[in-house]
Amino acid sequence: MHPGLQRVLFHERDIAARLDEMAAEITEFYQKKPLTVLAILNGSLVFAADLLRRIPLPLRFESLAVASYQGTESSGIVSFRQSNLPAVSGRHVLLLDDILDTGCTLNAVRQRILAEAAPLSIRAAVLLQKKKPRAETLVADYAGFEIEDEFVVGYGLDFDGHYRNLPVVGVLNTSSLGLR
């Protein structure tokens, strides 16, 4: 196991099998709808690349760079790293993020899209969702796996910019942080 991990939660084959299911559901829902998949970067990079290739629809792909985490805690403040939103008026938007924690990030992106554009709908798909109470408006329409409230890395998820390239998702080994 990678020294940065305390334990592995999802191996590559677990993720691939779950993405097949999610993609099938998404493909079914967006048949004959003008779809724009909007990936929230950097965290959703790997998830988006793997999910997109399983959705055989004539979709458009866009991305939006956003940051909210500092270390292992959500700062609650979502900063947009680019000033312009991709053009999504008149389209169904599927937001992709690596993980739903407090829900602040997805909520901020949704609110900004609704304030600046006129999409036909906005849904959200996340690979992981932490088990914790959150408002009903802050849920994801598609969630790969539910996890405990632990800090995880790998498969696009980072700690301080590291570990995004691990092919698995695992719990961060906080005693190995000197090894990065």
Q: How far does the chain reach from its first CA to its final CA, in angstroms?
A: 15
Closest CB to Mg ion among residues 35, 48: 48
Verify whether residue 160 is a known catalytic residue: no
Site for ligand IMP in 18-57 (CB under 6 A): 43
- Give CA–CA dist 35/90, Å, rounded: 9
Q: Which amino acid is at 73?
A: E
Under the criterion CB under 6 A, does residue 173 sit at the interface with ligand IMP? Answer: no
- Give CA–CA dist 5/163, Å, rounded: 9
Stretch in the footprint of ligand IMP (CB under 6 A) among 9-17, 28-36, 115-123, 151-159 = 151-159
Under the criterion CB under 6 A, does residue 103 sit at the interface with ligand IMP? Answer: yes
- Binding footprint of Mg ion on the chain (CB under 5 A): 43, 69
Decide the pairing of beta strands 60-70 and 73-80.
antiparallel
- Give CA–CA dist 29/31, Å, rounded: 6
Q: Under the rule (CB under 6 A), what is the footprint of ligand IMP? A: 43, 68-69, 74, 97-105, 151-153, 157-158
* Active-site residue list: 101
